[in-house]
Amino acid sequence: MMENAPFIALMAEDNKHDIIATKRAWRENHILNTLYVVNDGEACLDYLYQRGEYAEPGTAPRPGILLLDINMPKMNGHEVLNQIRGERAFCNLPVIILTTSKAEEDRIRSYDLGATAYIKKPVGFENLSHAIKTINLFWEMVELPKLANGCA
């Protein structure tokens, strides 16, 4: 992602197999961006707000992108997205919903809440690896606003 300026990618995902597969795809596609993983919506917010177990300086570097699952324990992805889109510090943060949900209402709600993209998780490692590679190639070409500026 963004070849000239690697940044932190944060993934909020509770499925251990999806986490392992994503990390493997990250390595195999030689993605330079560091991938941090949290396992539920509350941990995602703790990371973003640098509180709780992420309060120690340096434990939660500011992400340049968030890969967000919808169906997670404690707080789902839609609740996370709804909260961060209302915050000046995170209103420009690119958020890709990466989920197994095929429900039309989940896709519509994700975009209504301000998701940057909605991607159904592909079945099988090769398909997931290809999707991760494609996401990476896209973000290498995209020019984003400075995240520190916040939103109007």
pLDDT at 4: 52
pLDDT at 17: 92
| Residues 17-58: tens digit of each pLDDT | 999 999 999 999 988 889 999 999 999 999 999 999 999 988
89 near 149, Cβ under 8 Å?
no
Cα–Cα distances in Å, from 47 out to 38, 86, 140? Answer: 8, 17, 24
Confidence of residue 76 (pLDDT cuts 50, 70, 90): very high
pLDDT at 145: 58
Which residue would you say has higher pLDDT here, 148 or 130?
Answer: 130
pTM of the model: 0.87
Q: Return the amino acid letter for 29.
A: N
Strand ranges for the chain from DSSP E = 8-12, 35-38, 63-68, 95-99, 117-120
150 near 88, Cβ under 8 Å?
yes
**pLDDT over 60 at 72, yes or no:** yes
pLDDT at 3: 43
Domain 8-140 has CATH 3.40.50.2300: yes
When pLDDT is averaged across residues 80-104 and rounded to a whole number, the result is: 90
When pLDDT is averaged across residues 95-101 and rounded to a whole number, the result is: 90
pLDDT at 146: 60
Confidence of residue 149 (pLDDT cuts 50, 70, 90): very low
| Residues 101-146: tens digit of each pLDDT | 888 999 999 999 999 999 998 888 888 888 888 888 877 776 655 6
